[in-house]
Amino acid sequence: MAATHLLSHSSFLPKTLNHSLTQNPFSKSPILPLKPSKNLFKHPSLSLSLKAVLSQNPAKTLNPTFQHCFTKSPDGFLYCEDTKVQDVMEKVEKRPFYLYSKPQITRNVEAYKEALEGLKNSIIGYAIKANNNFKILQHLRMLGCGAVLVSGNELKLALRAGFDPTKCIFNGNGKILEDLVLAAQEGVFVNVDSEFDLENIVAAARIAGRKVNVLLRINPDVDPQVHPYVATGNKNSKFGIRNEKLQWFLDAVKAHPNELKLVGAHCHLGSTITKVDIFRDAAVLMVNYIDEIRAQGFEVDYLNIGGGLGIDYYHSGAVLPTPRDLIDTVRELVHSRNLNLIIEPGRSLIANTCCFVNRVTGVKTNGTKNFIVIDGSMAELIRPSLYDAYQHIELVSPAPPAAEVSTFDVVGPVCESADFLGKERELPTPAKGTGLVVHDAGAYCMSMASTYNLKMRPPEYWVEEDGSVTKIRHGETFEDHMRFFEGL
């Protein structure tokens, strides 16, 4: 439907697996069974475990590109670019909604493109898991991005949005055969995550009748010093393969020349990383692995360093690394091995482009706690409840001069004590109906929304370059929910 304009302006495993794909009915020859290899890498240094505490040199560059597109005017009104958020609230549905800056999305992409200048054939693979809004995906595709996928439906969505399949990367620790067949048919890169994953990729290649370009996802065991839920590159992660198993995977790829072509190595450390030297720590290990892989006759052309660059959620004016700071830490390594670089940004492309807009239902006090109750909740935005994450909160309009400033927990109406958007926030006491926003809500917010308590997923809008406001996703309704039961 056309957009609607609203406003003008993981020790080795056993030798074999009891796995159906080991005896794949489509196979002309058995898939290589799992067994330890005797040809492990010779260099003990490749088993090095690095800790982020060794890299304490954050970049000193202030990042004007990532300055907030939401600003307060001198008279206390919140603006998205040059559009007053209060005006948007008065024109759209009276329910919580997400509001984006389309120009900020463009600026964020351009910052990565400028950082990658001089690195030919590099790929900016946008992580669709961060935000899967179809209109946003189409915009990112038009700006030249590829896509990073972690499910079959994300792959289908990327194809529907027009992404070039040869700039798409299929990740995940549990990719199923059906989805891998589609990936093989379309010619996307596939990251190998485990022994059974490799088996499935081989089977998919045979079904599709096409060789699959694969990268090995290696856990470099670099500690990113982030919340454990978003740390993905350590030795105990459910993702990727340990370096001591690499030889087995190389032997497996060699055993399937008609199904697999090894083109690169991949790592992903985690999310909300604020020290770019951590990426270099990992890249040093990765290029050493690539040297060893090339020494065995593989034509490896790609280094994929994943994503994970953090943003200033606290709005504290902290000097955080920019895309250029990130790329500059690995640039010489990439050049020295004549590699093509793949990066997988999600949060740093989309988080700071959006806020979650709510209305105040009321204010109450229990014991020593003051609460601002809003119409939005953990159902629409779960990061604070799930990760104890901080997101900046402020009012959309100026408070009355007599409004007392107090410390509040900002909570929603969902029947859970964990339903909060922020704790211990100093805010002017708001009147009923006052607008309140949760900032930096573009990533891992709407894409993680649920219908718990039958809270319907909200609509989404963006401010265009000319200041007009466009609906880019319809809000869900009770009638939408009931359609799941029609004809039953």
For the annotated catalytic residues, the residue numbers are 415
* Under 8 Å between Cβ of 342 and 304: yes
Within a 10 A sphere around the Cβ of 421, how many other Cβ atoms?
28
Q: Distance between CA atoms of 212 and 431, rounded to whole angstroms?
A: 59
Q: Computed from CA positions of residues 217, 221, 226, 231, in that sequence, does the dihedral angle turn out positive or negative?
A: positive
Q: DSSP letter at 210?
A: S
3-state SS assignment for residue 379: coil
Encode burial over 380-411: b for 16+ CB neighbours within 10 A, e otherwise: bbbbbbebebebbbbbbbbbeeeeeeeebebb
251, with CB counted inside 10 A (0-12, 13-18, 19+), is: middle
Residue 217's DSSP bridge partners are: 266
Q: Angle between the 246-254 and 195-208 helix axes, to the nearest 10 degrees?
A: 20
Question: Residue 130: enclosing H or E segment and its boundaries?
Answer: none
What is the DSSP-derived secondary structure letter of residue 476? P
